[in-house]
Structure 1
Amino acid sequence: MEEYLQGKNKAEEDLDSLKTDYKKLRLSMRIAELGKNLKQWR
């Protein structure tokens, strides 16, 4: 049972890490898109 709980904890940590990475990726994509749009207006 102890090993199962540790595995679940690891999976939850991995999921949190993926969520964080996804948020950073989405943010950088939005910033890049904003930069492209600003260049078009110049």
Structure 2
Amino acid sequence: MCDHTENTFWISRLICFSIVSITIIQFFSNIIQGDMFISMFLSF
């Protein structure tokens, strides 16, 4: 039982992490497509 709950915990963490990663990737791809990326690049 202990191993089962630990596995489901890690699976839920993995799903949450993948959703966050996809959101961040979409956010950055929108910035790269737009002019905001140029201004961000120049600020660095």
Q: TM-score, normalised by structure 2?
A: 0.70
> Higher relative CO (CA 8 A, sep ≥ 6), structure 1 or 2?
2
**Cα-Cα RMSD:** 0.8
Alignment-derived partner of residue 30 in structure 1: 23
Number of residue equivalences: 35
- Show structure 1 runs of 4+ deviating over 4 A: none
Gaps of 5+ in 1: 1-7
Gaps of 5+ in 2: 36-44
Q: TM-score, normalised by structure 1?
A: 0.72
